[in-house]
Chain A
Amino acid sequence: DAKTTQPNSMESNEEEPVHLPCNHSTISGTDYIHWYRQLPSQGPEYVIHGLTSNVNNRMASLAIAEDRKSSTLILHRATLRDAAVYYCILRPTMNRDDKIIFGKGTRLHILP
């Protein structure tokens, strides 16, 4: 499985944008990029995913580099509730089992 690399931790101020980077230099052409996050004492939750084009949803935006070797999750206006571990994950397009391989993720701290 292709691997992702994320910073161990990041800090941001409340109400400011946050850019969470992810490197995936060995990504294959059929791998989708997914982001999940895990709030304290909860199970992981889906944030966003994309293949080639940038994506937006109510939670965040995903910016994917043209060569697809890196991506950035953007939280437009961080709140204290966004403090969590953010996981960048690659998922093959057609995979019978669909298991998720989690890395260590980035622990995001939000400063009030």
Chain B
Amino acid sequence: DSGVTQTPKHLITATGQRVTLRCSPRSGDLSVYWYQQSLDQGLQFLIQYYNGEERAKGNILERFSAQQFPDLHSELNLSSLELGDSALYFCASNANPGRQETQYFGPGTRLLVL
């Protein structure tokens, strides 16, 4: 158990809909990362937050957005969903980004868009 929790575990929705994925980092970790894992693209970095502020952006679509709240949990919002958004979404956390620290990954949310 990494200490990172993600909810829900599974999500099935329809095209055009909007969903919110939630992540609670390990106790004390200030940085949260979101990754998407699909069969054709592999594991891809989406976005990073550090202590409530966006720190880095990867290949995140404009239809996707994220935020980190004062209690440090984070939410990834996916809107106008398309079939191609079906994937595993992982959240990771660590305390001090930029210092070769381990990232601790959650169990993921499996999203299926029908």
Using a CB–CB cutoff of 8 Å, the interface residues on chain A facing chain B are 32, 34, 38, 42-46, 49, 87, 91, 93-105
Contact = CB atoms under 8 A, between A and B. Distances in A.
Nearest to A97: B56
A99 B108 CA distance: 17
Given A43-B2, A43-B90, A99 B100 contact: no
Given A42-B107, A46-B102, A98 B94 contact: yes
Contacts of B74: none
* B: interface residue count bin: 20 to 34
Interface stretch (B41-49, B64-72, B75-83): B41-49
Contacts of B33: 98-100
B99 to A, nearest CB: 8
Given A32-B100, A43-B92, A97-B55, A103 B42 contact: yes
B31 A98 contact: yes
A105 B4 CA distance: 23
B100 A43 contact: no
Contact of B103 (A93, A100, A103): A100
B83 to A, nearest CB: 22
Given A43-B107, A44-B90, A45-B2, A99 B102 contact: no
Contacts of B35: 100, 102
Contacts of B104: 46
Contacts of A91: 100
Contacts of A101: 45
A104 B41 CA distance: 9
Nearest to A49: B100
Given A43-B2, A102-B43, 17 more contacts: A32-B100, A42-B108, A43-B4, A43-B105, A44-B105, A46-B104, A91-B100, A93-B100, A95-B97, A96-B55, A96-B56, A96-B98, A97-B55, A98-B94, A99-B58, A100-B33, A102-B44
A103 B48 CA distance: 19
A96 B97 contact: yes
Nearest to A96: B98
A102 B108 CA distance: 16
